[in-house]
């Protein structure tokens, strides 16, 4: 009886998942097995043609580029986010919630608007060039439409997603463990390496997933901050949907990406031995 009441509580979420996730996903999957007609309708015939097209080696560099961007973004987010999380969790004192609020503050503005801001900052006549590089180097730097600008934009966007889980993990570490380490002769550095870092691993794993996965599929940032040389898989999919109106082929690309990511995540969790940690 009690068990059944508990299940009632998750019912809204299950419903939500079914209607807004599983059904659309099923529709997309179904579409991917049809061809688009010349007047942009979905054809009737079942076929694997879209998948055959998607295996085209032309997509490999795009995929590889997306993965590199995602990896670089994840790395940058961890490198920047870990110290930030460390400070907030262990030295935030009574201002802890204020710091967390500040971390979340950018979300009060649309991601699109914030990315446009980066555009105006980075462009040739932008603020960074006029204030920094022109006086310093005598000429502006072309920063937009490079790998760097895309990774910068992605890192900026996902930094809070990396910081939060790490700070939660750090917060959960019993302070007496840090004292125990010092008591046993552990210098601050070895206390960090031998106690804090291993104990914050679940947070780091969560941060990695929360950054890598969305960065891999992101298309807004490369669209705005990137250029012709920085096309990502997200953009390629978006192009099929919104410019070429070949939804079935876009669906096939999206599903392949999803399967690839699922395999990647499973491998990552297995390798980091964290199925238990996350469970």
Partner 1 sequence: MEELVVELVGVTKRFDRVTAVDNVTLQIRRGEFFSLLGPSGCGKTTSLRLVAGFEEPDQGEIRLDGKPVQSLPPYRRRVNTVFQSYALFPHLNVYDNVAFGLRRSSVPEAEIQTRVSQALELVRLPDLLARRTTELSGGQQQRVALARALVNQPQVLLLDEPMSALDPKLRRDMRTELKRLQKDLGITFVLVTHDQEEALSTSDRVAVMNAGKVEQVDAPRAIYERPATRFVADFIGTANFLPATVRAVNNGRSTVVLADGVSLVAPSAEKAPVGARVELSVRPERLWLTREPGSNGSNCLPARVVECTYMGPVTRYTVEVAEGVRLTTEQQNQDVVDGYQAGESVFLQWRPTSGTLLPAEAR
Q: Can you give the binding site for partner 1, defined by CB under 8 A? A: 174, 176-177, 179-187, 190, 194-195, 198-199
Evaluate the CA torsion angle 249, 252, 255, 260 in order and state its sign.
negative
User: CB 170 → partner 1: shortest distance, Å?
Assistant: 14
Residue nearer to partner 1 on the CB measure, 26 or 188 = 188
Kindly report the length of the chain.
279
User: CB 265 → partner 1: shortest distance, Å?
Assistant: 23
User: CB 177 → partner 1: shortest distance, Å?
Assistant: 5
238/98 Cα distance (integer angstroms): 38
DSSP per residue, 193-256: IIIIHHHTHHHHHHHHHHHHHHHHH--HHHHHH--GGG--HHHHHHHHHHTS--HHHHHHHHHH
Residue nearer to partner 1 on the CB measure, 182 or 220 = 182
Residue nearer to partner 1 on the CB measure, 184 or 263 = 184
Residue nearer to partner 1 on the CB measure, 195 or 261 = 195
User: CB 202 → partner 1: shortest distance, Å?
Assistant: 11
User: CB 180 → partner 1: shortest distance, Å?
Assistant: 4
User: CB 139 → partner 1: shortest distance, Å?
Assistant: 51
Evaluate the CA torsion angle 243, 245, 249, 250 in order and state its sign.
positive
163 neighbors 105 (Cβ within 8 angstroms): no
Residue nearer to partner 1 on the CB measure, 166 or 252 = 166
Residue nearer to partner 1 on the CB measure, 112 or 184 = 184
Q: Report the candidate in 178, 184, 161 with the shortest Cα–Cα distance to residue 90.
A: 178
Among all chains, which residue has been given the structure tokens 């990695």? 208
């Amino acid at each position: 009886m009690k068990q059944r009441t508990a299940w009632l509580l998750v019912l809204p979420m299950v419903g939500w998942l079914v209607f807004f996730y599983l059904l659309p996903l099923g529709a997309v999957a179904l579409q991917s097995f049809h061809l688009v007609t010349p007047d942009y309708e979905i054809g009737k015939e079942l076929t694997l043609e879209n998948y055959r097209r998607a295996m085209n080696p032309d997509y490999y560099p795009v995929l590889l580029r997306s993965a590199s961007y995602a990896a670089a973004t994840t790395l940058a987010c961890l490198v920047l986010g870990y110290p930030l999380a460390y400070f907030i969790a262990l030295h935030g004192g009574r201002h802890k919630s204020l710091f967390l609020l500040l971390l979340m503050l950018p979300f009060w503005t649309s991601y699109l608007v914030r990315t446009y801001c980066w555009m105006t900052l980075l462009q040739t006549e932008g603020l960074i060039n006029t204030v920094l590089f022109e006086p310093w180097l005598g000429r502006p730097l072309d920063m937009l439409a490079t790998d760097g600008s895309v990774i910068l934009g992605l890192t900026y966007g996902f930094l809070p997603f990396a910081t939060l889980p790490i700070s939660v993990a750090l917060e959960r570490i019993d302070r007496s463990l840090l004292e125990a380490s010092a008591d046993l002769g552990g210098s601050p550095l070895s206390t960090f390496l031998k106690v804090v870092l291993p104990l914050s691993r679940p947070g780091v794993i969560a941060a990695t997933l929360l950054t890598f996965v969305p960065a891999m599929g992101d298309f807004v940032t490369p669209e705005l901050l990137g250029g012709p040389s920085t096309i990502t898989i997200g953009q390629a999919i978006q192009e099929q949907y919104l410019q070429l109106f070949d939804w079935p082929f876009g669906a096939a690309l999206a599903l392949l990406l999803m399967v690839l990511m699922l395999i990647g995540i499973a491998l990552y969790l297995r390798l980091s031995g964290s199925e238990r940690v996350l469970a």
